[in-house]
């Protein structure tokens, strides 16, 4: 009988196979620019919270302000981020995505949706529904586990 650990290993292998698929569109551009996962996380945060002060972005990323300064300089040099003066406090700098940064994230969202549409299209509608139901249950169990661990 297959154990949960063996199934987990198979699941990891499947995820790894998807990671080896060729990069296209916005994903290829991110790779070309040498941007990391942290750069993308910063962009996603700024997508939902434009005009965020540097200190707040550092908090959201759980990084030190000097590290976020380095990170945002690379995004700015790549034309994906803009620094704006705070009209209320001239000592603060506010961050927002540039038009190119917003466009790149929109392309990434669409590419992501296209990839998962292709993934699901290989399944029947009932298999798609079952797959999503099982994934939802697994994620909910994981969320419960993390909640319980944080309460200890």
Tens digits of residue pLDDT in 17-47 = 987 877 677 778 888 888 988 999 999 999 9
The whole-angstrom separation of Cα 33 and Cα 27 is 10
The percentage of residues in the chain with a pLDDT greater than 70, rounded to a whole number, is 99
Q: How far is CA 100 from CA 38, 77, 107, in A?
A: 18, 12, 10
Which distant-in-sequence residues (6+ apart) come within 8 Å of 131 by Cβ?
Answer: 120, 123
pLDDT given for residue 24 in this prediction:
73
pTM of the model: 0.77
Mean pLDDT over all residues of the chain?
92
pLDDT given for residue 57 in this prediction:
97
pLDDT given for residue 72 in this prediction:
97
Per the document, the length of the chain is 152
Alpha helices in the chain (DSSP H): 4-19, 25-33, 37-48, 54-61, 65-77, 99-121, 125-151
Supply the DSSP symbol for 123.
S
Is the backbone of residue 102 left (phi > 0), alpha (psi -120 to 50) or beta?
Answer: alpha
Torsion of CA 52, 53, 55, 56, to 10 degrees: -20
First to last CA, the chain: 33
pLDDT given for residue 64 in this prediction:
96
């Amino acid at each position: 009988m297959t154990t949960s650990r063996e199934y987990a290993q198979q699941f990891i292998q499947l995820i790894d196979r998807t990671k080896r698929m060729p990069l296209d569109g916005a994903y290829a551009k991110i790779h070309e620019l040498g941007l990391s996962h942290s750069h993308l996380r910063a962009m996603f945060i700024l997508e939902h919270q434009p005009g965020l002060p540097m200190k707040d972005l550092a908090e959201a990323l759980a990084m030190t302000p000097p590290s976020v300064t380095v990170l945002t300089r690379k995004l700015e040099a790549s034309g994906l981020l803009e620094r704006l003066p705070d009209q209320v406090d001239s000592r603060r700098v506010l961050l927002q995505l540039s038009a190119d940064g917003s466009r790149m994230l929109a392309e990434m969202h669409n590419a992501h949706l296209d990839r998962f549409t292709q993934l699901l299209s290989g399944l029947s509608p009932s298999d798609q529904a079952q797959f999503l139901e099982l994934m939802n249950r697994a994620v909910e169990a994981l969320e419960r586990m993390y909640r319980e661990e944080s309460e200890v």
